[in-house]
Structure 1
Amino acid sequence: MKNELDSKFLLQVFDKIRQHGSKNDEHYQLNGITAYTDLDGYTLFVEDANVKLQFGFHNQYHFDYDSKAHFEVFEKRLMQIDKEY
């Protein structure tokens, strides 16, 4: 996930968060990561306190974060979820 987002990985992690996380309204939380979709389900949102990822139609995505260190922590959390569940 350094320069290019692996869409298969992201979708897999998103599904694991929905399956194993706690649900609050339409948001799912697991290991400090929140995952949800927009109303039509075409755009996925995966975020923690410092990084926001928006993943949409045709594999378009956008990261929003202030520092590389925040992104690295976010990336490690996603990998941890993928390994643990």
Structure 2
Amino acid sequence: MKNELDSKFVLQVFDKIRNNGEHVDEKYRLEGVLAFTDFDGYTLYMQDALVSMQFGFHNQYRFDYQKSEDFEAFEKKLKYIDTHY
């Protein structure tokens, strides 16, 4: 995910969080990852306490984090969700 974000992976994980996570205030939480969309559904957001990801139209994405270790831990969470749900 560092150089090229796989859109299929992102959508798959987002769907797994929605289907298996706890639903709170139009957002879904699973394994410490919060997932939600903007009002029109074109932009997806996934975040934990230290990293946020925005994934939008035409597969444009942006990550926001302070340390690379935080990003790596976030990536592991997404991979765990993908393989265990």
In 2: Cα distance, 1:69 partner to 1:50 partner: 10
Structure 1 counterpart of 2:4, one-letter code: E
Distance, in Å, in 2 between the alignment partners of 1:32 and 1:9 is 18
Give the equivalent residue in structure 2 for 1:37: 37
2:20 corresponds in structure 1 to: 20
Aligned to 1:69: 69
Residue 80 of structure 1 aligns with an amino acid whose one-letter code is: Y
* Unmatched segments (≥5 aa) in structure 1: none
- Cα shift readout 1:8-56 (whole Å, capped 9, x = no counterpart): 0000000000000000011100000000000000000000000000000
What number of residue pairs does the alignment pair up?
85
When normalised by structure 2's length, the TM-score is 0.99
Q: Which moved more, 1:72-81 or 1:1-10?
A: 1-10
The percent identity for this pair of structures is 64
Return the TM-score normalized by structure 1.
0.99
Moved over 6 A (4+): none
| Paired AA for residue 60 in structure 1 | Q
Task: Report the Cα distance in structure 2 between the residues aligned to 1:2 and 1:53, rounded to whole angstroms.
Answer: 12
